[in-house]
Amino acid sequence: MDVQVSFTLNGKTVSAAASSATLLVDLLRNRFGLTGTHVGCDTSQCGACVVHVDGASVKSCTMLAAQVDGCAVDTIEGLSGDGELHPLQQAFHEHHALQCGFCTPGMIMSAADLLKRNPRPSELEVRDWLEGNMCRCTGYHNIVKAVRAAAGAMGEEGS
Amino acid sequence: MSGGMGIGASAPRSEDRRFITGRGRYVDDINLRSQQYAWFVRSPHPHAELRGIDAGQALGMPGVTAVLTGADLEADGIGPLPVAWGITSVDGSPAVEPEFPALATGRVRYVGNPVAVVIAETRAAARDAAEAVNVHYEELDSVSNAVAAMEEGAPRIHEAAEGNLCFNWEWLPSVMAPDAKANTEKALKEAAHLVSLELVNNRLVPNAMEPRASLADFNSATGQLTLYTTSQNPHVNRLLLCTATLRMPEHKVRVVAPDVGGGFGSKIYHYAEELAVCWASRRLGVPVKWTAERSESFLGDAQGRDHLTRVELALDAEARFTALRVDTIANLGSYVSTFGAAIPTVFYAPMLAGVYKTPNIYVTVKGVFTNTTPTDAYRGAGRPEACYLIERIVDEAAAQLGMDPAEIRRRNFIQPDEFPYQSPVGQLYDSGEFEGCLDLAMEINGYAGFDERRKQSEARGRLRGRGMSFYIEACGAAPSQAAGQLGARAGLYEVATVRVHPTGVVQVMTGTHSHGQSHETTFAQIVADRLGVDFSNVEIVHGDTGEVPFGMGTYASRSLAVGGSALVKALDKVVDKGRKIAAHLLEAAAGDIEFGDGQFRVAGTDRQVAFGDVALAAYVPHNYPLQELEPGLEETSFFDPENFTFPSGCYICEVEVDPETGVVEIRDFAAADDFGNIINPMVVEGQVHGGLAQGIGQALMEHCRYTPEGQLLTGSYMDYCMPRADDLPSFKVATRCTPTSFNPLGVKGCGEAGAIGAPPAIINAVLDALRPLGVRHIDMPATPNAVWWAIEAARSGE
């Protein structure tokens, strides 16, 4: 059975028909072509699919498309405005916090939520928060470094 | 002139922008008009006769186009999956290489063995229909453990393999004395000290974060097949498709490996699924796509390691090593994967000298079939297994003799003035400063302060241990002739084309493939450095057989050592031709032209012409030596190395063990590596971090486990313990440099170091922590459960 969902996607109002079994990640990838959100597992463990729903990080493989009706959904494609990189994107680049890039969108979207909740996380707090995002390439060392550097940069911006 | 981004600069990566903004292009991101979807029917049994496949119900379901089986595959003349490296047993017989069809015929031999493929209009329809395919299995007895598989009365997996033995191999390199076996046995008998261990090298699942995917598009009008696939070596996949399985002419097959989300070895091979979608697309005349679910990756991606080894080390009265004897049983899984027989033999035994002057070494390896997923190269591939046993037994010897682990190593190191050093297991090492690396690792670890840290840990109820390892590995596979003598069925050179455009911007087509290794940046740094062009004016093209002339791909830390060297050779040709053009333009002799900083200059004068102007003259040859030179500026080189390269390094790890729970936490990890010359230090550090994480995963967390019969127990991220951010420490890394003489860049390779050196350092540290409790041995992974039981067993005197 198809359901009609209307929501805000990266700041624009959209609507689509989707089967009631369609996962949010499949709607984003297949209906809207937003292929920056990835699927790395089938047990809600890897976090490659993290997006924001109403500002909070969510694993989009674990949410039905129908559930975002009336919500605001933000993906990695919407994170940088007007070609300017988000401080997290900039920090990931500067600190070599990505190699193959597959986990990166989910990692950045998850970290963005962390920095909203905790603008100055310690190393342990970053590691604890990112526990739900797997990376097989970097050993997390530079990811942790980049998240903390972005926190520093955002703090300076805000002050 | 290189824009500050030449060799040695920590240039931020060119490839980052698309990944951090969500605009990467992985295989599953590509969709073609009218594409259909494949879903595989896989065996739920480890071993069974196939008595029949009834697809009637599935074919009647909405959206289903076809259900194809092994019989269809046979009827269409599709060849079995090839083995690319042959091994010969002690008695001179070749290893048993059973035919491995992409879809099973007759028998299934592991859980996940593809039996049929459903093609349908949507992925969901294909999946639903796959569940409706009725396969009649007649279950057979089965076995997953290699030792059990060798026992009398064990279920026979292949008719041709008696005792489930694929090969019984001993290592006798031609340079080694023919009496190595006798000499080793004699030295073991005469040893002042004899140490022996039985070691498990645990089976691992590579787990690149991007699951494998393939999208095949056959155009019946042109006869052209395009395959988009998650590959580390698209030209190799094309070669195998064209010559072994699909059997199409190479010019009609294009293989594209676009952005690929990690490999670690698991994306080297020519797999059943990519072959099946190519065949289905050709048969049905529509594009066919398959994307693995993670559960399928656990069943279907080639797995790594899985050795059981008995090792003996003989020492003289001064603790000098006099002999090493190694007997290994390697679990190959149900079939011989592409390099499955080579990894536990020729990628393993030649590294068993390590960094020590052990004069006598004798190695035997039995390769055994079991009802499990096939094993093959996984990050390090043979070298981690070699390093683990050497560094474990050296540490055990130090413990038994009451020596400092650093001291016993120093006493046995090959010294800098002994290079080139011919090891008794066939490798010719050219460089290294082992004591220098050891000192550096001790310095960044703060070796002298350990006793104080141990006291502090004790005060908190924790047992602190320190462990050390020293690895050497062979990178840059491979000298083709040597590889050929060892059984390789392909050459292992690398290829680069440098295309200078009329305006002086440069494209490089490389046969290596970057799936995280950063070639788009580091290869561009080499070009910027050598040609003096701005880094931003260089583009690296890879991963498309339609654009890159040829190549053998990326594995065994070979890309820079072999592919980078091919690039340097092609750049030299460009400069040579440019020199002749410049000589004409400057009215001088070519021999008088120097090239540097992007300028061709008449030596000793200020007369010069810029590289860009020479490029323009090559494409607008109005004033050009057309009688002597062709127009254009594009050169291709093949580079076949004269030897492997030998990175080495020392790792020191400190752990804290909670004796109440068995939990091991890494408190400090210091890595001192010698990679030879370094192009981009930031990228190299990233490679080390990633390797360490996988090494730590193997030592403490990861274990691919089967029931004795062969049901996979660790089939998802809920069961297979992957290292996460909160499991790992930050790392201390440093490098020393002794350049290699075996390639023009002096580079050795850094991709696998961490995964090779880390496991023994960690286990040595865990045992150092537990020895006061009487624990003498623990196998990987040292999970809390394993550590707790080891402590309990020691306490109860078992």
**B387 in a domain, yes or no?**
yes
Size of interface A-B (CB pairs under 8 A): 179
pLDDT category, B478, cuts 50, 70, 90? confident
B173-183 average pLDDT score: 75
Q: Is the domain of B449 the same as that of B375?
A: yes
Instruction: Convert the pLDDT of each residue in B212-245 to its tens digit.
Output: 999 999 999 999 999 999 999 999 999 999 999 9
- SS3 of B225-250: the string is EEEEECCCCHHHHHHHHHHHHCCCCH
pLDDT above 80 for B382: yes
Q: Is the domain of B256 the same as that of B313?
A: no
Q: Which residue has the tokens 């091919």?
A: B566
Residues of B in contact with A136 (CB under 8 A): 207-209, 262, 264, 690, 693-694, 722
Q: Is the domain of B595 the same as that of B541?
A: yes
Tell me if B315 sits within 8 A of B322, measured CB to CB. Answer: yes
CA distances A76 to A35, A95, A104, A106, B451, Å, are 9, 19, 9, 8, 48
Best mutation site among A28, A34, A102, A125 for testing chain B: the one with the most B CBs within 10 Å? Answer: A102
Tell me if B351 sits within 8 A of B723, measured CB to CB. Answer: no
Q: How far is A69 from chain B (nearest CA, A)?
A: 23
Q: Is A81 on the interface with B (CB under 8 A)?
A: no
Structure tokens at B775: 């624990």
User: B136 burial class (0-12, 13-18, 19+ CB within 10 angstroms)?
Assistant: exposed
Element (H, E) at B524: helix B519-531
Nearest CA in chain B to A33: B29
- Cβ of B294 within 8 Å of Cβ of A99? The answer is no
Q: Is the domain of A74 the same as that of A111?
A: no
Best mutation site among B25, B379, B684, B724 for testing chain A: the one with the most A CBs within 10 Å? Answer: B724
Residues of A in contact with B17 (CB under 8 A): 93
Element (H, E) at B41: strand B36-42
Q: Is the domain of B470 the same as that of B600?
A: no
Q: Is the domain of A18 the same as that of A62?
A: yes
Instruction: Convert the pLDDT of each residue in B508-525 to its tens digit.
Output: 999 999 999 999 999 999
Q: Which residue has the tokens 């097989």?
A: A136
Tell me if A100 sits within 8 A of B519, measured CB to CB. Answer: no
**B6 in a domain, yes or no?**
no
Q: Is A110 on the interface with B (CB under 8 A)?
A: no
What residue numbers bound the domain in which B567 lies?
Answer: 16-23+493-639
pLDDT above 90 for B755: yes
Q: Is the domain of A57 the same as that of A86?
A: no
Chosen domain end from B624, B639, B654: B639
Q: How far is B709 from chain A (nearest CA, A)?
A: 25
- As a whole number of Å, the end-to-end CA separation of chain B is 69
Q: Reduced to 3 states, what is the DSSP secondary structure of residue B73?
A: helix
Quote the CA–CA distance of B236 and B245 in Å, as a whole number.
13
Q: Is the domain of B529 the same as that of B554?
A: yes
Structure tokens at B477: 């596979």
Q: Specify the pLDDT at position B270.
A: 96
**B274 in a domain, yes or no?**
yes
pLDDT above 90 for B174: no
Best mutation site among A9, A27, A140 for testing chain B: the one with the most B CBs within 10 Å? Answer: A140
**B678 in a domain, yes or no?**
yes
Quote the CA–CA distance of B450 and B443 in Å, as a whole number.
12
- Cβ of A99 within 8 Å of Cβ of B731? The answer is no
Structure tokens at B472: 């050497």
Q: Is the domain of A74 the same as that of A85?
A: no
Chosen domain end from B609, B639, B669: B639
Instruction: Convert the pLDDT of each residue in B86-144 to its tens digit.
Output: 999 999 999 999 999 999 999 999 999 999 999 999 999 999 999 999 999 999 999 99
Q: Are strands B634-639 and B599-602 parallel, antiparallel or unpaired?
A: unpaired
Instruction: Convert the pLDDT of each residue in A69-90 to its tens digit.
Output: 999 999 999 999 777 999 999 9
Instruction: Convert the pLDDT of each residue in B274-329 to its tens digit.
Output: 999 999 999 999 999 999 999 999 999 999 999 999 999 999 999 999 999 999 99
Residues of A in contact with B25 (CB under 8 A): 35
Instruction: Convert the pLDDT of each residue in B329-359 to its tens digit.
Output: 999 999 999 999 999 999 999 999 999 999 9
Q: Specify the pLDDT at position B4.
A: 86
- As a whole number of Å, the end-to-end CA separation of chain A is 51
Beta bridge partners of B26: B259
Residues of A in contact with B210 (CB under 8 A): 38, 40, 100, 102
Mean pLDDT of chain B: 97
A138-144 average pLDDT score: 98
pLDDT above 90 for A158: no
Q: Select the residue of A21, A37, A100 nearest B515 (Cβ to Cβ).
A: A100
**For B287, what's the count of Cα atoms within 13 Å in the CB-facing half-sphere?**
15
Instruction: Convert the pLDDT of each residue in A108-122 to its tens digit.
Output: 999 999 999 999 999
Closest CA to B270 of B287, B259, B255: B255
- Cβ of B29 within 8 Å of Cβ of A80? The answer is no
Quote the CA–CA distance of A143 and A121 in Å, as a whole number.
13
pLDDT above 60 for B1: no
Quote the CA–CA distance of B313 and B572 in Å, as a whole number.
48
- Cβ of B516 within 8 Å of Cβ of A139? The answer is no
Torsion angle (degrees, nearest 10) of CA B342, B345, B351, B353: -170
- SS3 of B433-471: the string is CHHHHHHHHHHHHCHHHHHHHHHHHHHCCCEEEEEEEEE
Q: What's the number of domains chain A is made of? A: 2
Q: Is the domain of B397 the same as that of B439?
A: yes
Q: Is the domain of A85 the same as that of A21?
A: no
Q: Specify the pLDDT at position B238.
A: 98
Q: How far is B602 from chain A (nearest CA, A)?
A: 41
Q: How far is B12 from chain A (nearest CA, A)?
A: 6
Q: Select the residue of B210, B682, B717 nearest A45 (Cβ to Cβ).
A: B717
Q: Is the domain of B325 the same as that of B443?
A: yes
**B188 in a domain, yes or no?**
no
Quote the CA–CA distance of B357 and B350 in Å, as a whole number.
14
Q: Is the domain of A68 the same as that of A10?
A: yes
A97-111, B45-59, B174-188, B362-376: least confidently modelled range: B174-188
Q: Is the domain of B253 the same as that of B328?
A: no
Q: Is the domain of B214 the same as that of B279?
A: yes
CATH code, A121: 1.10.150.120
CATH code, B221: 3.90.1170.50
Chosen domain end from A78, A97, A128: A78
B428-432 average pLDDT score: 97
φ/ψ of A37, rounded to 5, equals -85, 120
Residues of B in contact with A123 (CB under 8 A): 730
Chosen domain end from A20, A46, A78: A78
Q: Is the domain of A69 the same as that of A89?
A: no
B387-404 average pLDDT score: 98
Q: Which residue has the tokens 């693995």?
A: B292
pLDDT above 70 for B173: no
**B787 in a domain, yes or no?**
yes
- Write the CB contacts of B443 (distance below 8 Å, at least 6 apart in sequence): none
Quote the CA–CA distance of B210 and B271 in Å, as a whole number.
16
Q: How far is B662 from chain A (nearest CA, A)?
A: 21
Q: Specify the pLDDT at position B347.
A: 96
Within the 37-76 window of chain A, which residues sit less than 8 Å (CB to CB) from chain B?
37-43, 45-46, 48, 75-76
Instruction: Convert the pLDDT of each residue in B680-726 to its tens digit.
Output: 999 999 999 999 999 999 999 999 999 999 999 999 999 999 999 99
CATH code, A50: 3.10.20.30
- Write the CB contacts of A156 (distance below 8 Å, at least 6 apart in sequence): none
CATH code, B634: 3.30.365.10
Identify residue B578 by its one-letter amino acid code. Answer: G
Instruction: Convert the pLDDT of each residue in B575-609 to its tens digit.
Output: 999 999 999 999 999 999 999 999 999 999 999 99
Residues of A in contact with B230 (CB under 8 A): none
Q: Select the residue of B210, B691, B726 nearest A100 (Cβ to Cβ).
A: B210
Longest Cα pair distance anywhere in chain B, in angstroms? 91
**B166 in a domain, yes or no?**
no
- SS3 of chain A: the string is CEEEEEEEECCEEEEEEEECCCEHHHHHHHHCCCCCCCCCCCCCCCCCCEEEECCEEEEHHHCEHHHHCCCEEECHHHCCCCCCCCHHHHHHHHCCCCCCCCCHHHHHHHHHHHHHHCCCCCHHHHHHHHHHCCCCCCCCHHHHHHHHHHHHHHHHHHC
Within the 117-136 window of chain A, which residues sit less than 8 Å (CB to CB) from chain B?
123-124, 126-128, 130-136
Nearest CA in chain A to B298: A41
Quote the CA–CA distance of B85 and B347 in Å, as a whole number.
11
Q: Is the domain of B273 the same as that of B255?
A: yes
Element (H, E) at B195: strand B193-201
Q: Reduced to 3 states, what is the DSSP secondary structure of residue B137?
A: strand
Q: Is the domain of A56 the same as that of A97?
A: no
Q: Is the domain of A29 the same as that of A64?
A: yes
What residue numbers bound the domain in which A69 lies?
Answer: 2-78
Q: Is the domain of A15 the same as that of A46?
A: yes
Q: Is the domain of A52 the same as that of A8?
A: yes
Q: Is the domain of B253 the same as that of B376?
A: no
φ/ψ of B552, rounded to 5, equals -110, -5
- Cβ of A38 within 8 Å of Cβ of B210? The answer is yes
Tell me if B677 sits within 8 A of B739, measured CB to CB. Answer: yes
Quote ipTM for the complex.
0.98
Q: What's the number of domains chain B is made of? A: 3
Q: Is the domain of B341 the same as that of B384?
A: yes
Quote the CA–CA distance of B601 and A86 in Å, as a whole number.
45
Chosen domain end from A45, A78, A111: A78
Quote the CA–CA distance of B32 and B39 in Å, as a whole number.
17
**B179 in a domain, yes or no?**
no
User: B156 burial class (0-12, 13-18, 19+ CB within 10 angstroms)?
Assistant: middle
Q: Specify the pLDDT at position B175.
A: 52
Q: Reduced to 3 states, what is the DSSP secondary structure of residue B66?
A: strand
Q: Select the residue of A42, A92, A102 nearest B26 (Cβ to Cβ).
A: A102
φ/ψ of A77, rounded to 5, equals -65, -25
Chosen domain end from B613, B639, B665: B639
Q: Is the domain of A72 the same as that of A95?
A: no
Instruction: Convert the pLDDT of each residue in A42-73 to its tens digit.
Output: 999 999 999 999 999 999 999 999 999 999 99
